[in-house]
Structures are given as C-alpha cells and as structure tokens.
Copies of this chain bind each other. A is one copy, B any other.
Amino acid sequence: MPNRPASMRDVARRAGVSLSTVSRVLRGAAGVTPEVRDKVRAAAEELSYAVSRNASGLVTGRTCRVAVVVPSLRPWYFASVVSGLGHALHEAGLDMLVHQVGHLEDWIHTLPLRHNSDALVAVALELTEEQCAHAADMAGPVVLVGERLPGRASVHIDDHAGTAGATRHLLNLGHARIAYIGSRTDGGMSLSSTARLNGYHEAMTEAGLEPWTVTKSPGPGCGELAVGELLSHQSPPTAVLAESDNVALGAHRALRRSGVPVPGAISLMGFDDHDVSSALDLTTVDQAPQTLGRVTGHLVADLVQGRRPSDTCVELPVQIVPRQSTAAPRKRRTSP
C-alpha cells in the first residue's frame, strides 16, 4: 500500500524528457537548457521526488554518508561532539550514521561498514594503528576525535595547555598548595589524561612548586575519594584542580558534605565546562566539544569530497571560564 515512490523514470516521463536529462538537472550538471531544467525541476517537485542515494551511490561509489562511532551518545561530552559534527556534515550535504559501541571488542564487530559510508569518525576511542588500518580498509578515511594517533587524521583539544593554564590561574590567585585529581584505569591512562596531568606538572614545576597528584579509578566516586584523601592531610591544599568536571563534581559534593566552604577554604576547578559546572558555579576549562565536532565535520567533508585539507591533525585551543569556585586563598593565620 505504500505505493512505490516515484523514480527518475517517472519524472522523465512527466517532464517529457529522457532519464539522462533528469539526472543531469538534478545533479546540477551543465549542458541543459534553462527551459528544460525548469520543466524537470517542476516535474520533480510535483512528484515530490528525491534521488535515491542508494542507487546513485552504487554507481558513483560514494554514499554521501559518514559513520560516527562513539562509546555512547548519552554523556554530555559525546552528545556535544556528535551534535557539532552532525551540523557540519549536514552543511556539506553528508548524512550521519551514528553507531554506539560500548567496548572496543564490539567495535571490530560493528565494522562491516564497507560500501556503507564514505568515511569514519571515531570519537574518544583509543584505537591502535592496526584497528585504524582495518577501519580505513573498510570505510575510507578515518578521523579520530578527542584522541590522537601518529599518522592518522585527528582533531583534539590542547589538553596540556588547558591544565597548564588552569594551574597558572590558581597560581595567579596566590595559591601554592595546589592538588591535582586525576583518573587512571588499570589499563593505564588515556592520551588526553596524560596530557592534562603533564600540563599541571609543567605549570607547577615552572613555578618552582611541588606537584601534588592524587589518582583514583574513574567513576562517580573518583572525586569524592580523592577529596577524602586530601582533607586527611596534615595541611590540606588550598586549591584543587580536577581532571574533568565529572571528577570536580564529586569533589564538590565531598567538600560540601565535609563543611569545607568553596572557595572560602578551598578553591576548586574542573575541566570541560559541563552543564553542571554552570549550575554549581564551578570555574572550569571550556573545551567546546561542539566546536570540536564542527571542525571535525569540515575536515571529514574535505577528505570525502577530495579537497586536500590544510591540516589533517587539528589541535584546538581551550579557554578558562572563571566562576565562583575559585578565589584567592584565605590569609594564613600563622603568618605574623
């Protein structure tokens, strides 16, 4: 009962021209009389006809589709990246296929994408070169977002500069005992985690101060546990920089419950500019994930459409967002 949709042949018949001519018009190819073109356009409009990317892709070899692989769409960060990506791809006339793969093992299983997309964007996946090569073999250009791999196209932020800047922000406020809360899985640290940690280290040693790092396994309890450890110290830090807003969130909760005023006794900084940060008035580092996605989209479009992009490895700047959770340290009573 869903009577077959109109085909190009139907449009051709209606316009009284040949199939080829309709194709030319709809593709915007040159060599058609304006008069004929309008006639064809009108016919297509009346039949509310749209070309089948399926069929055209079959002969051109291009699907006008980009596959995006992401651990999950739900977390704020991924949603933002994919959102920006979607907009940019849409502008370039590309459709976006979204695949969520929880574990990297599933990833390889999801891969039979060949012929089904023109490129692949992997968001926040730590791929090995081997996996990348396999993916490229299956689906054309591969672009990494939020991670990097030598020799592969990637778009990511300058994590190092972000934490370095954040640390300097705290130093400039007058803090000296600045602790850093990081996350670390059994498998080690991701490249961006490492870069963030290094940024902190650099800024601290640059200032002649001893870095003070606490790492916990990632998850909801990360920030809380770390704060517990920090507060039990003989002289606790006056400022805490968290690897991410999620960690900062847990830290914030722990501080609140411990009755430690923020920023009165301890200044707290996050990293991400998560929605929650503005709700909690948390000073943080904006990594503009939507921009990340958008830039990636342009890059992918360039690659797919055969333009040579200026640079296949883009590093985006970050920006400090000052809010209420950081302030100059309280004067120490012990000083004369």
Q: A interface vs B, CB < 8 Å?
A: 2, 4-5, 48-55, 57-58, 61, 63, 65, 72-76, 78-80, 82-83, 86-87, 90, 95-100, 110-116, 134, 136-138, 140, 249, 253, 275-276, 279-280, 290
Contact = CB atoms under 8 A, between A and B. Distances in A.
A253 B276 CA distance: 12
Contacts of A50: 111-116, 138
Contacts of A249: 279
B100 A90 contact: yes
Given A86-B98, A96-B98, A275-B275, A63 B73 contact: no
Contacts of A99: 86, 90, 95-96
Contacts of A73: 73, 79-80, 82-83, 86
A276 B280 CA distance: 9
Contact of A58 (B54, B74, B275, B280): B54
A56 B97 CA distance: 18
Nearest to A55: B58
A253 B279 CA distance: 8
Nearest to A252: B279
Contacts of A55: 54, 58, 115
Contact of A2 (B116, B140, B253): B140
8 contacts: A48-B138, A50-B116, A54-B57, A75-B79, A86-B98, A90-B110, A95-B99, A97-B97
Contacts of A79: 73-76, 78-79
Nearest to A61: B4
A24 B138 CA distance: 22
A98 B4 CA distance: 24
Contacts of A82: 73, 98
Nearest to A102: B87
A146 B50 CA distance: 28
Nearest to A106: B90
A114 B76 contact: no
A74 B63 contact: no
A16 to B, nearest CB: 23
A96 to B, nearest CB: 5
Contact of A115 (B53, B115, B136): B53
Nearest to A53: B116
Contacts of A97: 65, 95-98
A54 B53 CA distance: 8
A300 to B, nearest CB: 15
A82 B83 CA distance: 12
